[in-house]
């Protein structure tokens, strides 16, 4: 069963990773501008915000196998729509569709996994988010492979290929035995209980803010290397992969360390490592060291999201879908806010100034986690 949750998270983040690298080819193919292309990400985040929240709620109320398989099938249809869309407006509609119906895949998979393995939540969430990072790495690679042949419309092929993967996920779900939601989670007061929990709200707030250091660091990497360091475009585009490799390795490592180390210490250590890595990244002019600290920054960021998610979901083991939906909605909200905020910061105060904002977010998270440790983690895990 955990493998279905891992696969659903991998697939959804892979879908997200297709859009950014495809934008230049879509611009050339459709003749649209940057502002119109920016709406792709707005529709993606908007669909994800509603999809993750509603998917979490439905996961605790509807038959899970039908819901999970239906989500995978609808994501495949949305991706097929993006493949066949004849115009800009139809592409926008397809992106919203596969975001609205595809984003709950990870939430529903996670809620079922936590219901089946409540005692392994920190370990399994670390592995699940490792597969998410792997999806982030695979999406751009898939686009690159398809766009090597510079032909009009080639950007559509990766969407068709991933639609096929969504169909395979749907078939895998239909062949699996999945537990139904617990009767205790079906009450109409589940959402009120979750939203009334200080622990869940603290987790949601910190997850929202941790999106800033995650997206903010990678957001300007290619431009920083190209503009400030004079590095060629190919290497500049590749350095983001180092961050993702660090994240993947870090989350695999955390899935092992969490058995022997308190979650609070792992989160604090990760934030300290990220801050130190960012300081070294900004201070050091030597290119090999900059590349090395990109890896260590990814290692430092690795434990923050999965362990905050584990701490929040642990509060209500009887309704994992509702809690997961609320916490994933915080991720989507952060994905709507921080790219705009940090993009504006880079345009007004420069890339270095934007990175200083990222450092401020990391320092604020470290202080908040330390002050709210009793609200975020059980004494046994802190």
Looking at domain 190-375, which CATH architecture does it have? Up-down Bundle (1.20)
| Residue 305 structure tokens | 């999201």
CATH class of the region 1-176:
mainly alpha
227-265 residue pLDDT tens? 777 766 556 567 888 888 999 999 999 988 888 888 889
C-alpha 315/C-alpha 326 separation (Å) is 13
| Residue 279 structure tokens | 């300081």
C-alpha 24/C-alpha 27 separation (Å) is 5
**What count of Cα atoms within 13 Å lies in the side-chain half-sphere of residue 363?**
9
Cβ-contact 28, 156 below 8 angstroms: no
138-182 residue pLDDT tens? 888 888 888 776 666 788 899 999 999 999 999 998 898 877 765
Per-residue pLDDT of the chain (382 residues; tens, 9 = 90+): 577 888 888 998 898 888 877 877 887 788 887 667 777 877 888 888 888 888 887 887 778 888 889 999 999 999 999 899 888 889 889 999 889 988 888 888 888 888 777 778 788 888 888 888 888 888 888 888 887 766 667 888 999 999 999 999 999 988 988 777 655 444 457 778 888 888 899 999 999 999 889 888 887 777 777 777 776 655 656 788 888 899 999 999 998 888 888 888 999 999 999 999 999 999 988 888 888 999 999 999 999 999 998 888 887 877 888 888 888 888 888 888 887 787 788 778 888 888 899 999 999 999 999 988 777 776 445 5
**Rounded CA Rg of the chain:** 20
Question: Are both 1-176 and 190-375 of the same fold?
Answer: yes
Residue boundaries of the structural domains of the chain:
1-176, 190-375
């Amino acid at each position: 069963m955990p493998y279905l949750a891992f696969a659903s998270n991998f697939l959804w983040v892979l879908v997200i990773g297709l859009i950014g690298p495809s934008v230049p080819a879509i611009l050339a193919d459709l003749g649209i501008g940057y502002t119109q292309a920016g709406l792709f990400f707005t529709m993606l985040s908007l669909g994800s915000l509603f999809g993750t929240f509603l998917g979490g709620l439905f996961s605790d109320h509807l038959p899970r196998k039908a819901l999970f398989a239906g989500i995978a099938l609808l994501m495949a249809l949305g991706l097929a729509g993006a493949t066949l869309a004849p115009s800009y407006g139809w592409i926008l509609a397809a992106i919203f569709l596969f975001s609205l119906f595809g984003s709950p895949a990870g939430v529903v998979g996670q809620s079922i996994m936590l219901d089946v393995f409540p005692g392994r939540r920190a370990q399994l969430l670390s592995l699940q988010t490792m597969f998410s990072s792997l999806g982030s790495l695979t999406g751009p690679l898939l686009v690159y492979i398809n766009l090597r042949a510079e032909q009009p419309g080639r950007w559509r092929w990766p969407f068709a290929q991933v639609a096929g993967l969504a169909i395979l996920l749907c078939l895998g779900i239909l062949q699996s035995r999945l537990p139904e939601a617990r009767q205790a989670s079906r009450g109409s007061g589940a959402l009120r209980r979750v939203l009334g929990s200080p622990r869940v709200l603290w987790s949601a707030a910190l997850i929202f803010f941790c999106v800033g250091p995650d997206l903010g660091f990678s957001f300007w990497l290619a431009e920083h290397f190209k503009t400030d360091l004079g590095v060629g475009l190919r290497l500049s585009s590749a350095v983001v992969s180092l961050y993702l490799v660090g994240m993947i390795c870090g989350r695999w490592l955390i899935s092992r360390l969490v058995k022997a180390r308190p979650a609070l210490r792992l989160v604090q250590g990760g934030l300290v490592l990220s801050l130190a890595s960012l300081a070294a990244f900004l201070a050091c002019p030597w290119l090999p060291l900059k590349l090395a600290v990109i890896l260590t920054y990814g290692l430092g960021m690795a434990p923050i999201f999965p362990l905050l998610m584990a701490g929040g979901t642990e509060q209500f083991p009887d309704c994992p879908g509702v809690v997961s939906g609320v916490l994933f909605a915080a991720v989507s909200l952060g994905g709507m806010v921080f790219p705009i905020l940090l993009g504006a910061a880079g345009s007004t105060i420069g890339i270095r100034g934007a990175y200083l904002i990222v450092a401020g977010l990391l320092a604020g998270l470290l202080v908040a986690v330390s002050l709210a440790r009793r609200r975020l983690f059980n004494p046994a895990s802190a």
